[in-house]
């Protein structure tokens, strides 16, 4: 039986760059029991994270370009159109007074699929603990 998991950009970046918990993120790729899913805009968020690493001198531009090229051709991640869950994500953003709707699109997708969103974003995880969304989010480091 294959388990569907939603992964957010904070996890996907760890597949490309050497960061804390990169090993745990890579372990998700080696588990054949997981079908990894993400909203279609994950490519933009990952590209933005790569850009920030280049901008702050943590990554050479040519390595950043190689990383995004690798990710754009990544076959272990299935992307899903996120238009249908935008209203749910906006409702969550309003309810929790969150900094960005993008984080909640991942969680909304997990809820819609009756799945779990794996994140490395500790702030997001803490925000949803003790709420009716808690069952739809898990921290990568756990």
Give the chain's mean pLDDT. Answer: 95
In the numeric block, which tokens belong to residue 51? 């850009």
Mind listing the pLDDT tens digit for each residue in 59-91?
Answer: 999 999 999 999 999 889 999 999 999 999 999
Percent of the chain with pLDDT over 70: 99
Number of domains in the chain: 1
The answer on pLDDT for 50 being more than 90 is: yes
Distance CA 122, CA 61 (A): 28
The answer on pLDDT for 31 being more than 90 is: no
CB 42 within 8 A of CB 12: yes
pTM above 0.85, yes or no: yes
CATH number at residue 113: 3.40.50.1010
Where in the sequence is the domain holding 16, given as residue range(s)?
3-139
Listing from the earlier edge strand, what are the strands of the sheet with 116-119?
A: 77-80, 34-39, 3-7, 116-119, 137-139
Distance CA 104, CA 93 (A): 7
């Amino acid at each position: 039986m294959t388990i569907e998991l939603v992964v957010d950009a904070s996890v996907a970046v760890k597949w490309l760059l050497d960061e804390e918990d990169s090993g745990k993120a890579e372990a998700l790729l080696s588990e054949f029991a997981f079908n990894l899913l993400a909203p279609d805009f994950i490519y933009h968020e990952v590209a933005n994270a790569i850009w920030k690493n280049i901008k702050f001198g943590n990554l050479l531009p040519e390595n950043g370009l190689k990383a995004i090229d690798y990710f754009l051709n990544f076959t272990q991640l299935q992307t899903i159109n996120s238009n249908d869950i935008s209203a749910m994500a906006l409702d969550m953003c309003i309810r929790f007074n969150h900094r960005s709707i993008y984080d909640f699109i991942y969680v909304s997708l997990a809820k819609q699929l009756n799945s779990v969103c794996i994140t490395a974003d500790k702030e997001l995880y803490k925000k949803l603990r003790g709420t009716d969304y808690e069952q739809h989010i898990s921290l990568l480091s756990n």
